Amino acid sequence: MRAAAFCLLFVAACATTASDRVAAEQLRGCWINRDAGATTMRWLPDRTRPEVLAGTRHVYRQSGAPQVTRYTLEPSEQGSSVCELDSEGAATKCWIVARGEGGSLEGGRVFIDTHGERLRMTLVGDGPTRVIFQGNRDGCD
């Protein structure tokens, strides 16, 4: 009985890890939203930590410099986390990446939906729901 329970737990852990790797691979690359002005988002491997994706979102306006926000997608005890970074590169806030429909929204969850050539990242449960990014795949220059 214990052996069967251990095997199920082991298989579930492996599936979670594989699922997180697939999500990271689907997210990796460059994205753009040309609706109101332009917003771009890049998710590329972190130079110092190969298991982490570094994300940069640029919101371009009619005038002035673009608004830049940096993120990471990295492994965590709960699977994967998305962290928003300050100008020094330190995490100011982290949210667990949601998987499926179960689990608490306390503290916030990031839902990452990559469907074909579209990406939508939404933060739910940490104040009002907000879209971090929504757009289409773009070539990386």
- Options 2.40.128, 3.30.70, 1.20.58, 3.30.1490; CATH of 2-138: 2.40.128
Considering the chain, what percentage of its residues have pLDDT values greater than 70?
79
Structural domain spans, the chain: 2-138
Buried b (16+ CB within 10 A) or exposed e, 35-54: eeeebbbbbeeeeeeeebbb
For residues 125 and 135, what is the distance between their CA atoms, to the nearest angstrom?
A: 22
Q: How far is CA 36 from CA 24, 46, 80, 120, 135, in A?
A: 27, 29, 30, 16, 12
Q: Which of 105, 97, 86 is nearest to 16 (CA)?
A: 97
Note the pLDDT tens digit of each residue in 24-33: 888 999 999 9
The partner residues of 139 in beta bridges, in order of sequence, read none
Note the pLDDT tens digit of each residue in 10-52: 333 333 455 566 578 889 999 999 987 799 999 999 999 989 9
For residues 56 and 106, what is the distance between their CA atoms, to the nearest angstrom?
A: 26
Give the mean model confidence (pLDDT) for residues 106-133. Answer: 91
Q: What is the pLDDT of residue 37?
A: 79
Determine how β-strand 29-33 pairs with β-strand 67-76: unpaired
Give the mean model confidence (pLDDT) for residues 89-98. Answer: 92
At 101 the three-state DSSP class reads: coil
